[in-house]
Amino acid sequence: MIRKSLVGAVLAALALSGCAGTAPQDDTKAAPSQRAGTAHNDADVTFARQMVPHHTQALDMAALVPDRTANPAVTDLAARIKRAQGPEIEQLDGWLARWGAAPSGGHAMPGMPSHASMGGMMSDAEMTKLRAGKGAEFDRMWLTMMIGHHEGAVEMANAELRGGADADAKALAGRIAGAQRAEIAEMRKLLGGR
């Protein structure tokens, strides 16, 4: 008998809590990603368009690691970069679509700086040299190049934090800046404090 009363009380509480959720919600309190028409500006679009090819090159660099090093610290870092930046590319492309902005498609857009002028981007010659490396030489080149690459991403993230309007894009920029600063410190230690 007590068990039936307890079950009845729980069901009644659930039914009442379900009714509470039927009131109209104040859309201004919803998370930015849930609000329709979140405000964005040119800085947000530039951030997304530049960060996609920037992250893409980082993924290309990370993909070189397994066949060229025996250093578990470098292998682990490359795997973490892939896990973080792959989903961020999808998120950035989604925002570009939501904003009605043409995606970067990995190519420079008219009126946008070329990839070579984006901070930290490796040239074709640098990528060719990196692909040819093996062992400790590869590790040194990869870490040195990835530090420069990360420094460029931090600059782009800081530009978004200063000039962007979209709350989600600014939050991502903050996460990118923080994560990549930490990875820069880690890579400098792996290089022996350089």
pTM of the model: 0.75
pLDDT of residue 119: 82
Cβ contact 120:148 at 8 Å: yes
Q: Which two tokens stand for residue 125?
A: 């010659």
> Which pLDDT belongs to residue 26?
36
φ, ψ at 10 (rounded to 5°): -65, -45
Q: What angle do CA 99, 28, 102 make, to 5 degrees?
A: 5
pLDDT in tens, the chain (194 residues): 444 444 444 344 434 334 333 333 333 333 333 344 469 999 999 999 999 999 999 999 999 999 999 999 999 999 999 999 999 999 999 999 999 987 655 444 444 444 555 789 999 999 999 999 999 999 999 999 999 999 999 999 999 999 999 999 999 999 999 999 999 999 999 998 55
The full set of domains in the chain, from first to last, is 45-190 (1.20.1260.10)
Whether the Cβ atoms of residue 57 and residue 120 lie closer than 8 Å to each other:
no
Rounded Cα distance between 172 and 168, Å, is 6
Give the C-alpha separation, 84 to 113, whole Å.
25
Contact between 65 and 74 under an 8 Å Cβ cutoff? The reply is: yes
Q: What is the rounded CA–CA span in Å between residue 52 and residue 67?
A: 25
8 A C-beta contact, residue 154 and residue 31: no
Check residue 128 and give its pLDDT.
97
Distance, CA of 95 to CA of 103 (rounded, Å): 9
Residues in the chain: 194
- Residue 165 burial (CB < 10 Å; 0-12/13-18/19+)? middle
Task: Give the per-residue pLDDT at 10.
Answer: 38
pLDDT at 38: 66
Run of H or E including 135: helix 135-163
Residues contacting 130, CB < 8 A, separation 6+: 61, 64, 122, 138, 141, 142, 145
Q: What's the pLDDT at 117?
A: 55
